[in-house]
Amino acid sequence: MKISLCKHRFPIVAPGGSLFHPGDCSRCGITYRDHETELRRQEEALIVGSSRYGKCPDCGHNRRLFRFQPPAQPWHSPDEEMPVSFLCMGCYNTAADTHNAMVKGAFEEAAA
């Protein structure tokens, strides 16, 4: 496994890239897509790697529990840590859907 300590810089101004298609890192050359893929892989490894068997706090069933932490939103302060909970897969999906609906509603309300 290759570990990069680069503080990536992806150009978003022509000719190096654009806001919707950032260019390669000006320091190490990694593509923006590869960088995003690696971040997703690390997030999934954290969720699966920290899973454990136990009693789900939402439904009360004894099942495998997965780490759920809603992503930070623009209205949160940068140093605010979102709460972490361990949920079974069904409750995990429900929590993710509920969070996504809440964020969508907030953005629609702000746009109106």
Domain-wise residue ranges, the chain: 8-49, 51-111
The span from the CA of 7 to the CA of 111, in Å, is: 34
Nearest to 4 by CA among 20, 21, 23, 27: 27
d(CA 17, CA 56): 45
Prior bond of 22 cis (ω within 30°): no
The pLDDT tens digits along the chain (112 residues) read: 466 678 888 888 888 888 888 999 888 889 999 999 998 898 889 888 999 999 999 999 999 999 999 888 878 888 888 889 999 999 999 999 999 999 899 888 888 7
Inter-CA distances, 50 with 6, 11, 67, Å: 26, 35, 7
DSSP for 79-92, please give it.
TPPPP-EEE-HHHH
